């Protein structure tokens, strides 16, 4: 989970900074699209679940999913950057790779044999985000962008995805002290 946060949060912050810097001397009127964007980024408070005997099983599966998916995404991103730098990247290829990446995320998530309510809750939030991204990619004909811009449509559901990450981090932290004391 930490890898995705490392990529998403700086991207969103920098896009907001660039948006702010590019404004001329306009009257400071509230921007409804930025309000929507900030509402999308708000994540729900961490939800409390009772501890179960299967918690560590599910935590391990979700953390492993995150690691494997992050590695795969990093490799895809590196490939697209190299192709773009070489001038061989086409919009169709970039779109296809992004579609593959989204489908891989969904397939990997759905394959997890999670046994707890909290694990399935986190899985559902993540799957919902990736399903939304698939819909947006299918609707968006501008596939030449390597990183989606931060329009409200492109960040739809991101707050829930961030909530899923926070939920997993919180859940994992509940067991870390017990693991450290066993060592």
Q: How does pLDDT run across 108-129, given as a tens digit for each residue?
A: 999 999 999 999 999 999 999 9
Higher pLDDT: 158 or 43? It is: 158
Q: Read off the pLDDT band of 141 (50, 70, 90).
A: low
pLDDT at 133: 93
Condensed to tens digits (0 to 9), the pLDDT of residues 80-92 reads 999 999 999 999 9
Nearest one of 73, 98, 138 to 89, comparing CA atoms? 98
Nearest one of 118, 125, 126 to 52, comparing CA atoms? 118
Least confident segment among 2-11, 117-126, 164-173: 2-11
pLDDT at 183: 52
Condensed to tens digits (0 to 9), the pLDDT of residues 142-160 reads 444 444 454 566 677 888 8
Backbone angles phi, psi at 79, to 5 degrees: -60, -45
Gap between the Cα atoms of 117 and 115, Å rounded: 7
Backbone angles phi, psi at 60, to 5 degrees: -60, -45
Tell me the domain boundaries of the chain.
53-182
Gap between the Cα atoms of 58 and 105, Å rounded: 17
Least confident segment among 20-24, 124-128, 137-141, 169-173: 20-24
Least confident segment among 34-43, 82-91, 172-181: 34-43
């Amino acid at each position: 989970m930490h890898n995705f946060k490392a990529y998403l949060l700086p991207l969103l912050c920098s896009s907001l900074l660039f948006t702010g810097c590019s404004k001329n001397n306009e009257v400071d009127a509230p921007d409804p699209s930025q309000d929507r964007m900030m509402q999308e980024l708000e994540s729900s408070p961490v939800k409390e679940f009772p501890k179960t005997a299967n918690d560590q099983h599910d935590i391990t599966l979700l953390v492993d999913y995150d690691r494997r998916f992050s590695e795969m995404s990093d490799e895809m991103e590196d490939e697209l950057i190299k192709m773009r730098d070489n001038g061989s990247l086409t919009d169709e290829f970039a779109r296809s790779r992004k579609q593959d990446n989204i489908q891989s995320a969904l397939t990997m998530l759905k394959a997890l044999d999670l046994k707890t309510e909290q694990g399935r809750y986190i899985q559902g939030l993540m799957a919902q985000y990736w399903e939304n991204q698939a819909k947006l990619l299918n609707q968006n004909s501008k596939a030449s962008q390597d990183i989606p811009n931060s329009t409200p449509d492109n960040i739809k559901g991101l707050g829930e995805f961030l909530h899923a990450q926070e939920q997993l981090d919180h859940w994992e932290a509940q067991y870390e002290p017990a693991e450290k004391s066993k060592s």
